[in-house]
Amino acid sequence: MAEWRVGVVGRRVTGARDRRALAGGRVAFAGGHDDGVPNPSRQQPIMDHVSLAAESTIPLLDRYRGDLGGVWIDDAIAPGMHWLQVRYANGMKVEMLEPARVDAFPFLRRYLDQLGAGPHHYTFKVADLTAMIEALETNGYTVTGVNRDDPNWQEGFVRPKEALGIVVQVAAGPDETEHVPPAGTVEPRCERPAQLARIVHLVRSIAEARRLFVGVLGGQVIDRSAGWLELAWPGPGRIGFMEPEPGSRWDAWLGARPGRLGWLDFSLVDPDPIGDVEHDKLGQAWIPAEHNHGVWLRLR
């Protein structure tokens, strides 16, 4: 993204699918598409970051930089929002959004008014935006908000109703370089940065997840079983798609939606000093969404 740089003064586990998702083992990048599913854009997208939205980025920074040690990358104000990014030890990034310049573009204001704080989008970087848009549209997805005004950052979006409950951004542009954070920015309180090892995304249909995230967005299958599909992209990007067991906590969290971000899997030295941590019967540490601006975290 580009614009004007500014400163920023015990849970129960149920079901085999839940246990598979909670296993959280390290995996190697497999390469090659599962079952010969084509990538019609003929390029390899890279999962760049997950983006979270709230009324203010200050408490988000306190969690994702203060507690989890995210390394400051950059921030800027663009029409409708102020964004900032941090990077973790394995290279995965979290972006944080808050409303700004709402009169110019009220998209984020509308989003928060409707859904409240929580996950906003996944960003996939591509070499050829036009080819990716054509691939999405050929496969029946509607691409909105296409913007090619900035030669250094061009983008388009697939809406949540077509992307399993989250906005998918496809973008062509350089990787963000790390800058010195503004004076007064919260400093990390942990020994070293955590790793954002994996995103777990709940879905009603693994087949629909494969159709978009493998068939068009080029994810490589690294693990699968009944009700579970884990994908990797070059670099640190990992998403595990899970069909929750009926009657489970995650089934209730998904509700009537076709998809919803389940949790973010962080690996760090010691999660216990972090506030709001609860432990499940397996001893795993969680921060519930109600204590974390609409996003569940698992800490290990």
CATH number of domain containing 58: 3.10.180.10
In terms of Cα–Cα distance, which of 206, 211, 298, 215 is closest to 243?
A: 206
**Residue where the block lists tokens 């400093």:** 187
Q: Does one domain contain both 145 and 237?
A: no
pLDDT tens track for 154-189: 999 999 999 999 999 999 999 888 999 999 999 999
Report in angstroms the alpha-carbon separations of 179 from 153, 191, 220: 18, 21, 32
Examine the domain organization and report whether 73 and 160 are in the same domain. yes
Asked if pLDDT for residue 6 goes beyond 50, the answer is no
At residue 267, what are phi and psi to the nearest 5 degrees? -115, 125
Whole-number pLDDT of residue 4: 30
Q: If you average pLDDT over residues 273-293, what whole number do you get?
A: 95
The model scores a pTM over 0.85? yes
Residue 77's closest CA among 94, 91, 62, 57?
A: 57
In the structure, how many helices (H) and strands (E) does the chain have? Answer: 6, 16
pLDDT for 130 equals: 96
Q: Which one, of 120, 160, 119, 115, lies nearest residue 141 by Cα?
A: 160
| The domain boundary residue, chosen from 172, 197, 230 | 172
Residue 37 lies in a domain: no
- Residue 115, in any domain of the structure: yes
pLDDT of residue 9: 27
Supply 216's token pair: 């068009």
Average pLDDT estimate for 265-291: 93
The pLDDT of residue 21: 62
Q: Residue 30: is its pLDDT beyond 50?
A: no
Among 52, 57, 55, 217, which residue's Cα sits nearest to residue 120?
Answer: 52
Summarize the confidence of residues 235-262 as an average pLDDT.
98
* Cα→Cα distances 261→17, 109, 126, 217, Å: 16, 20, 23, 18
Give the tens place of pLDDT for each residue, 57-93: 999 999 999 999 999 999 999 999 999 999 999 999 9
Structural domain span for residue 208: 16-25+185-299
Q: Are the beta carbons of 60 and 184 closer than 8 angstroms?
A: no
Of 172, 195, 217, the residue that ends a domain is 172
Name the domain count of the chain: 2
- CB atoms closer than 10 angstroms to residue 10: 11
* Residue where a domain stops, chosen among 103, 138, 172: 172
Q: Are 280 and 103 in contact (CB under 8 A)?
A: no
50/44 Cα distance (integer angstroms): 18
Asked if residue 7 has pLDDT above 90, the reply is no
List, for residues 91-100, the tens digit of each pLDDT value. 999 999 999 9
Same domain, 154 and 200: no
